[in-house]
Amino acid sequence: MKKSTIIALALTGFVAMGCSNMNNTQQRAVSGGAIGAAAGAGVGLLTGHTVAGALIGAAAGTAGGLIVDANEKQNGRK
């Protein structure tokens, strides 16, 4: 395996361990950011700009997660 892959997997594990005490808003923002980063990296890989795609995807995913959270709260869900 590449060194960068091992580092990325290790960092993912550390981040996942720190997510156990988050509230719903934080969980939705982090989940949206992670999903967006993965999707953005995939699109970026196809265009030759993997890191930029991941960063843009993470930002968009985090915003999406916060929008979903606001909608859930507005509808009386936690």
pLDDT band at 32 (very low <50, low <70, confident <90, very high): very high
pLDDT of residue 1 exceeding 70: no
Residue 12 lies in a domain: no
**pLDDT by residue (tens digit) across 34-62?**
999 999 999 998 998 888 999 999 999 99
Q: CB–CB of 24/69 below 8 Å?
A: yes
Neighbouring CB atoms inside 10 A of 5's CB total 9
Distance between CA atoms of 28 and 45, rounded to whole angstroms? 25
What value does the mean pLDDT of the chain take?
A: 85
Q: How many domains does the chain have?
A: 1
Residue 1 lies in a domain: no
AA identity, residue 44: G
Task: Print the domain residue range for 26.
Answer: 22-78
Q: Is the pTM of this model over 0.95?
A: no
Residue 29 lies in a domain: yes
Could you tell me the two tokens for 9? 């997997």
Could you tell me the two tokens for 36? 């967006």
Residue 58 lies in a domain: yes
Residue 72 lies in a domain: yes
Residue 32 lies in a domain: yes
